[in-house]
Structure 1
Amino acid sequence: MAKSFLILAICVLCVASIRASSFVGMPVEDICKMVPAFTKILVPGSCIDWAECGEDGEIIDDGTCLAGWMFDKNTGKCSKSSMVECPFGYNLKKPCASEKNGTFLRNPEDCTGYIYCKEGVEQYSACPMGLNFNPETKSCVYASEYPCPEKEEGNEANSICLSVGDNIRMADPNSCTTFKVCNKGVLKTTKCIAGSYFSRELKRCSDWEESDCATAEPTTEEPWSSICGTDDDPIVGFISDEVTCSGYYYCDEMENGKADRNPKFAKCSNGKFFDANSFSCKDRTNVRCLFDRCEGMDKRFANIQGDCTKYTYCNGGVSSSEGSCPEDFYFDEKTQSCTKKVVSYLGCLE
């Protein structure tokens, strides 16, 4: 019976469509914003793909280990597969990359499905209704013979440690006063001593001026008393200054549980706006902001939030006049021109 199911599976594979595995984990770009510059990490969902992070959290290099080799996140190098234990079990992103032609593999997303390797390319298909794929016998069998394994509860925090090596101090995207370290696959959070803030560059806690949270000198202006909420409902973390597109405050977590009455103020560097969703400074065209988008621009044109066909002329960092591109044209702030190519920057969408 099992043999016939296997034959049926092969026939179904003849018309199977190719699609990518959908392992869900933290994006590489988000991990790069946490780890020190020039750290090499394992790409989530893969055993052979790696990426190197730059000083600004960007990806500056990437690669794929050769056949028979896997990436070791602890050494930051490709090593023989026999010497590396892949934290993802096997290569979920390219499971057929190191498999022989004609190999059947289980589908980690669906126990009724399977993967057929044809010349290193994945072909996904599923068993007939009511049958599960048994990875040991490589065949479709009744559920009574091979019940679907229970899925383990995911741990988003510890998923970072599947890609990052042990003992690497990482910035905490939600706090200036703590940092994170992986220890045998478990993510641990450590708080800096009072009055110090974590520096991704220095890999340690330091003064505010050297920390990741300070991209500009603090202002001498006294922040309004309610900026970090009330003592009964304090706000902790990064918040917009509610006046400009680049200014933001950091509300520290106070030991007494009350609101921070002396939050740190900073501004994103020129060309970048504060993004409250990712707690980061991003390219101005990729941030929604309802304040004057001419900030930091002079004698140039900027996109208008809410309409990608319109633009505003910036004079001394202030919007002075508005215009619109011809019909079926869009304004591209990066090229400073109207174009027929659809422009869909977050900085101009509704």
Structure 2
Amino acid sequence: MFPGASSICALVLVLMCSSAATALNMTNICLLLKNNARIASADSCSNYYTCSNGAATSQSCSSGTYFDKNSQACVSTAPSYCSSNSTTTNPCAGHATGSFAAVSGSCTNYYYCGTNGAEEGTCPNNLVFNPTTQSCDYSSNYPCQSSNTSSSDANAVINLCLYIQKGIYFGNAFSCAGWQKCYNESSFTTGSCSNDLVFDTANAICNYPANVDCSQVTNDPNLDVNAASDGGTCTTSGELKNATACNQYYICNNAKWQLITCSTGKYYDTVSKTCVNRNVAYNDCDRCLGTNLQFVNAFGTNCTGYLYCVEGVEKSSGTCPTGDYFNEDMGGCVSENPNYVFCTSESSSSATTTSGSTDDTTASGETTASAATTEATTEAAK
């Protein structure tokens, strides 16, 4: 390693940590909720966040009181769920403020132990974290064997019901039309608006697309409701299944589902169960993810349907006139079917799809779309 590289990398770590968000993005949670909603904090029973215009602002209860997300107020007794609120134990225990700590099972990830607690980061450019020099280093200087598959891409999925008030409807980070509701801190339901409506987070109802900006769709892997419903456990080591986002999948490792992200430009293919180029992946997901195109083909529509994308997020969808097909390479409806592999419907693709290749990742307790829409609209009107 060239002289002075360790000190440079240590400085890079400090700069990265000073601007990096913690593993849990509270603003992305706020985007799922009505304005002025309050959410519990991940680091203290006495702290909480107020959601104002989609942004999270940190707040603290007065000394000796604790925040209760269900009453949306500070109370005299800490809620029973608070002890399990944090996503991890304190990784900075025993480390001085301003130092760095390794992430268990990862070669590339580290914690910066700042005044606000542990903040996780990742070494750039295929470097590994060297706990001896407290810096990002070449693997030739610090050989490391990760216990996780693609550990730098793994994400800790959280239980949203530990942060969000029970009994209210809130949005889905992966779908404009999707909604969720917590019954308590351990069970929830999820569904989707019907009749081409989308979920309006500002009013907690299903609404017309023209009235909703879908800002709640961030594709934040930490907010994957399907992963939360799995409970994080699995039985067959090495088993793979698709995640909510096109570019992610799960692998069963040490009896737990571990979320893995494909490399840039790749989608998870549910047939081959590998990461492949985006334009050849068979995967029922938001195909706006990872593209700068304004319009892309929709999955499973025999290439007649398309999605309207803004900065990699699906905002609306449409269908070409009868007899025409959408071609995302040409950017419009054409007379000839481009026959993209992801356009084929489930019935026509069943002959070429291997058994069990398209995994069921529907959240447990899901209500039918029509019933859910009625329930959400009725309760929101009360």
TM-score when normalising by structure 2: 0.38
Q: Per chain length, whose mean CA-contact separation is higher, i.e. which structure has more relative contact order (CA < 8 Å, sep 6+)?
A: 2
| Larger helix fraction of residues | 2
| Larger strand fraction of residues | 1
TM-score when normalising by structure 1: 0.41
